[in-house]
């Protein structure tokens, strides 16, 4: 996996985990490497591997999952300076206002509900349309004190990010040209 981090100052940092899939990753015979990317006090990559063990009498050797290690890729301070993060060339997180937005979650939710004939051509317009649509369709599931937070989470963003994005969309799609 290739992790490309673009910072707000224009710097780019790239992390490459491909060497973790060699025959001797982490010092063992390795058939498969399992990578999990998580935000928890910064950005971490949790690497586990499937160690091939000799299984006498069996037709095929067995590869059992072995706990690996946690790689601290970015500290919380560094995450605050990030503009975007790509995983294998696909945009995963993008700074929207003060927070990072999970672009893949927004895309997946949009794929479930977004109508192709809707005119919004930007991420901002799509997110606002989807937010309003979800609030209408899922009104009973999204009711209560956390309804806005739950709706925004379905879009892969915080309330602050949505507020920023909806303000941008209001300016872009205003009919007072």
Query: Per-domain residue ranges for the chain?
Result: 2-79, 104-172
d(CA 15, CA 32): 19
Q: Which residue has the higher pLDDT, 32 or 107?
A: 107
Question: What value does the mean pLDDT take over residues 140-164?
Answer: 88
| The pLDDT of residue 127 is above 80 | yes
Q: What's the pLDDT score for residue 155? A: 93
How much of the chain exceeds pLDDT 70, in percent?
Answer: 81
Decide: 49 and 40 in contact? Cβ < 8 Å. Answer: no
pTM for the model: 0.81
Q: What is the number of other CB atoms lying within 10 angstroms of the CB of residue 15? A: 14
| Tokens (6 digits) for 51 | 């160690």
pLDDT tens string 68-105: 889 999 999 999 999 999 999 999 999 999 999 999 99
């Amino acid at each position: 996996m290739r992790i490309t981090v673009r910072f707000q100052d224009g710097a780019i940092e790239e992390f490459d985990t491909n060497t973790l899939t060699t025959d001797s990753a982490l010092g063992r015979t390795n058939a498969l490497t399992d990578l999990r990317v998580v935000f928890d006090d910064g950005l971490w990559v949790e690497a586990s591997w499937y160690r091939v063990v000799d299984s006498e009498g069996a037709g095929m050797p067995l590869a059992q999952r072995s706990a690996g290690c946690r790689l601290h890729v970015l500290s919380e301070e560094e995450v605050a300076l990030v503009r975007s993060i790509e995983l294998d060339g696909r945009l995963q997180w993008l700074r929207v206002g003060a927070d990072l937005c999970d672009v893949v979650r927004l895309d997946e939710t949009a794929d479930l509900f977004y109508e192709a004939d809707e005119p919004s051509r930007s991420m901002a317009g799509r997110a606002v349309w989807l937010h309003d649509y979800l609030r209408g369709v899922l009104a009973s599931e999204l009711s209560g004190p956390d309804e806005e937070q739950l709706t925004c989470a379905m879009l892969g963003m915080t309330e602050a990010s949505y507020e920023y994005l909806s303000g941008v969309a209001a300016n872009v799609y205003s009919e007072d040209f």
